[in-house]
């Protein structure tokens, strides 16, 4: 086969594979919908009311900015120091998140050690970990935009609904 044709054949078979995968994923997403829709709302650790996030989640945004942003970026999208939490929170939930933040973790990527410090002895983090999780989860879900969010007042009763 001439080189050109061979390359075309390779591209074609790749895109066939790609479409096959996409079809598969689409079907699986359809299958998952009814169950996910019911539980998703209950599971959300943040509230968004009239475009404003609840005060606890806003507190999480501020604590994240103070303690995590220097490595994970102001938007939680990651930096050269640490991975994107927007991405990683698509693969694990609250339990793993809190475990890692309290105890820390190291990762070896191609011989380079990346260190996630432990925050178990840092009350600013440990006592606000649910709020921090809520904000990062909202970022990961695409529900909370980057930057300083509009938020409900601390005294607003809708925070606790």
| Residues forming the site for ligand HEC (CB under 6 A) | 67-68, 70-72, 81-83, 85, 88, 97, 100-101, 105-107, 114-117, 119, 125, 132
Whole-number Å distance between alpha carbons of 119 and 49: 31
CB of 128 to ligand HEC, least distance (A): 9
Q: Which is nearer to ligand HEC, 116 or 152 (CB)?
A: 116
CB of 75 to ligand HEC, least distance (A): 13
| Cα-based distances in Å from 87 to 33, 133, 135 | 21, 14, 14
Q: Which is nearer to ligand HEC, 125 or 144 (CB)?
A: 125
CB of 107 to ligand HEC, least distance (A): 3
Q: What ranges in the chain are assigned the alpha helix state H? A: 3-43, 55-67, 69-72, 85-88, 94-103, 123-126, 129-140
């Amino acid at each position: 086969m001439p080189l050109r044709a061979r390359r075309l054949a390779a591209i074609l078979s790749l895109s066939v594979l790609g479409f096959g995968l996409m079809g598969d994923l689409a079907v699986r997403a359809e299958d998952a919908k009814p169950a996910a829709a019911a539980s998703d709302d209950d599971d959300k650790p943040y509230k968004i009311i009239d475009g404003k996030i609840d005060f606890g989640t806003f507190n999480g945004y501020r604590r994240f900015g103070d303690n995590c942003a220097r490595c994970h970026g102001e938007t939680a999208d990651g930096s050269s120091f640490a991975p994107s939490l927007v991405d990683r929170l698509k693969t694990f939930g609250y339990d793993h998140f809190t475990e890692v933040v309290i105890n820390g973790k190291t990762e070896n990527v191609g011989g380079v050690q990346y260190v996630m410090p432990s925050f178990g002895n840092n009350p600013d983090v440990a006592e606000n970990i649910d709020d921090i999780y809520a904000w990062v989860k909202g970022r990961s879900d695409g529900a909370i935009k980057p930057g300083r969010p509009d938020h409900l007042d601390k005294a607003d009763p809708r925070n606790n609904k």
